[in-house]
Chain A
Amino acid sequence: MATVPATSEGALPPRRAQTFWGRLQAGEELARLIAVTAGGAIFIITALVFYELVSQSALSRHQFGWHFLVTSTWDPVAGNFGALPFIYGTIITSVLSLLIAIPLGVGAAVFLAEMAPIGISNSLTFLIELLAAVPSVIFGVLGVFVLIPILRSDVVPFLKAVFGDLPIFAGAFYGVSVFSAAIVLSLMIVPFIVSVSREVLLTVPSDQREGAMALGSTKWQTTWKVVMPFASKGIMGSVFLALARALGETMAVTMVIGNTPQIKASLLAPGYSIAAVIANEFAEATGDLYQSALIELGLVLFGVTFVLNGLARIMILTAGRKGAH
């Protein structure tokens, strides 16, 4: 590590330690400079990320302006590019996956934080955090080979039989669809919701629970009306984090969503997401405008996840403050 004086130097003489040049000569300042340089390198890398996205998408931004975000044609041959089908696909899969993952995740977190004995809670949390470590391409493989056949043979016929009149379940189901993508995504984001929510629930002071029980409330009432509102901000933060993850998820989504740039009301129709279109089409993009349009999509995705992550951090950081009245 860095530069350690070869001889055992001991403390610096007082005068020497006070000047920059003196410290530099002693080797002290160099260590600090090396560490600061590493921090500066991180800053430069992040600035480069932003700069690259903005500069490489300049061609497309100047051509289409703000219309890019609301146009739904995606025609590489004619050079007309619009982001709307991808924005729609990204939002609908993420929102739907949250609708599935939040009850599941918060329920599991409540069980692990409130109900389970500490040993069982710790081992189950360990296992759930392992789920977060599974690579997304593995989820994609399972989605393609296991989930989609199950959906096609059992789940969707049941849904169509019961809810077939609703427009969200209209149309033929080919397996690859927004619905399948949402289910795979929800399995991927549940561990984040569980682990952050469980930690937030564990930090709720026990005097809140004890106070509620002293007033005669049942376990359910205590959890639902006292503990959860106290932890609600932190749980919301975990939801935002999970949403940010879901928005940027590429591989599992592109394997099961169908890769069709269209906006349909039905959840059973194939769709496309921003990350999926970049992954599929960038390596084969002909022409500067095509590449620039895809990079502009990357910029949109970067911007959205940037805002969401910021909000999530703020929420989690201020989680404990509410309720301290």
Chain B
Amino acid sequence: MLGITALCTLITVGVLFFILGDLVAHGIGSLNWAFFTRLPVPVGETGGGLANAIVGSGKVLLLATIFGIPIGFLGGVYLSEYGNPTISFVIRYVTDLLNGVPSIVIGLVVWGLVVHPMGHFSAFAGGVALGIMMIPISVRSTEEFLHAVPSSLREAASALGASKSKTIATVVVPAAARGIISGTMLDLARVAGETAPLLFTAFGNQFWSSGWNQPIATLPVMIYTYALGPYDDWHRQAWAAGFVLLAGVLVVNIIARLTMARGIHIPR
């Protein structure tokens, strides 16, 4: 029995190493300076890159953070610090519901709400879609870390005469800050790899996009497009982009999890 179950574990972990190894093997050879600085070139030519996709992903993720994290953080604060039995139940329920919505459906909804009225694809719509996906995880992790702050801290602040909002702002949130930040990093890493919601919100662009109202190229969508294309140069770039994306996501994940593992930091 030890053998069978150990084999199952080995297969599962082995898959991770296999994925990493393969991406490193195929991807690292394809990375060059042009990849990070040049725009895509017409097929048949070599030397193109995905600079617009890397910047585009950054822009869309920035928008998503601006849109999703405040709502998620404040929602988590409400659930943990304030909270009323019915309202908390409803908020928890809809947060769980929103978490379970498939990402392609979120893309459809944002298409209907943002793209259709605006009449064109945009980075803004992509940011809204990814922001909606960030909210549930942000709420849950904020609530969890705020809960973990010992109530003795809150009571001590009260005893010194601080009002509730002041306690939250100056005592509870800073104590839980490390956990909340690492939760936000994990959230960001998760939506950084999402492709489906961007397919008909941010759409894609072969050139640089200016402002927030133009369609914009993003790394996961370019990986999808290039991997399925018939050109070898596109495949090479898909591997390179996949490596860059996975490296970014895994590094953020590892840093965030290691930070979170250190628990609540109570300044003395």
Contact = CB atoms under 8 A, between A and B. Distances in A.
Interface of A: 1-5, 8-12, 26-28, 30-32, 34-39, 41-43, 45-49, 52-53, 56, 103-108, 110-112, 114-116, 124, 126-131, 133-142, 144-146, 187, 190-191, 194, 219-220, 223, 244, 247-251, 255, 275, 278-279, 282-283, 294-295, 298, 301-302, 305-306, 308-309, 313
Given A2-B169, A35-B81, A115-B6, A138 B16 contact: no
B165 A247 contact: no
A165 to B, nearest CB: 29
A107 B8 CA distance: 6
Q: Give the residue among B163, B169, B170, B203 with the most A Cβ atoms within 10 A.
A: B163
Nearest to A122: B261
A265 to B, nearest CB: 27
A107 B4 CA distance: 7
A138 B12 contact: no
Nearest to B162: A10
Nearest to A186: B15
A213 B98 CA distance: 44
Nearest to A224: B1
A134 B23 CA distance: 12
Contacts of B186: 133
Contacts of A43: 90-91, 94
21 contacts: A26-B163, A28-B163, A30-B165, A38-B77, A42-B98, A45-B135, A52-B108, A105-B12, A128-B13, A129-B257, A130-B250, A131-B19, A138-B23, A138-B223, A141-B238, A142-B22, A223-B1, A244-B100, A248-B104, A295-B108, A309-B99
A175 to B, nearest CB: 13
Chain A to chain B: the 9 pairs with minimum beta-carbon distance, closest first:
A135-B193, A248-B102, A107-B8, A38-B74, A111-B5, A31-B165, A35-B78, A309-B100, A10-B161
B122 interface: no
Contact of A133 (B1, B87, B97, B253): B253
Most A CB contacts (10 A, CB to CB) among B102, B106, B238 go to: B102
Contacts of B139: 42
Given A45-B132, A250-B195, A305-B101, A219 B224 contact: no
B125 interface: no
B246 A250 contact: no
B105 interface: yes
B111 to A, nearest CB: 8
Main secondary structure of the interface of B (DSSP, over half): helix
Interface in B176-200: 186, 189-190, 192-196, 199-200
Contacts of A133: 186, 189-190, 249-250, 253
A140 B224 contact: yes
Given A42-B75, A46-B98, 20 more contacts: A1-B173, A32-B164, A34-B74, A35-B82, A42-B95, A48-B109, A104-B8, A108-B9, A115-B5, A124-B13, A128-B13, A131-B15, A146-B22, A248-B103, A250-B104, A250-B196, A275-B104, A283-B199, A305-B100, A309-B100
Nearest to A120: B9
A275 B22 contact: no
Nearest to A17: B163
Most buried by B among A41, A45, A244, A275: A45
A135 B165 CA distance: 39
A52 B109 contact: yes
Contacts of A31: 164-165, 168
Contact of B2 (A10, A115, A309): A115
A213 to B, nearest CB: 15
Given A5-B166, A111-B9, A130-B16, A136 B78 contact: no
Given A48-B113, A133-B253, A38 B193 contact: no
B156 interface: no
Given A137-B224, A141-B223, A283-B199, A49 B246 contact: no
A68 B47 CA distance: 48
- Most-contacted residue by chain A among B9, B162, B169 (CB, 10 A): B9
A42 B224 contact: no
B103 A282 contact: no
Contacts of A306: 97, 100-101
Nearest to B5: A111
Given A248-B103, A283-B203, A137 B15 contact: no
Nearest to B131: A45
Contact of A135 (B15, B98, B112, B249): B249
Given A104-B8, A248-B103, A306-B100, A145 B165 contact: no
B263 interface: no
A281 B70 CA distance: 34
A136 to B, nearest CB: 7
Contacts of A247: 102
Nearest to B70: A38
B228 A255 contact: yes
B224 to A, nearest CB: 5
B106 A49 contact: yes
A10 B22 CA distance: 60
B130 to A, nearest CB: 13
Nearest to B132: A45
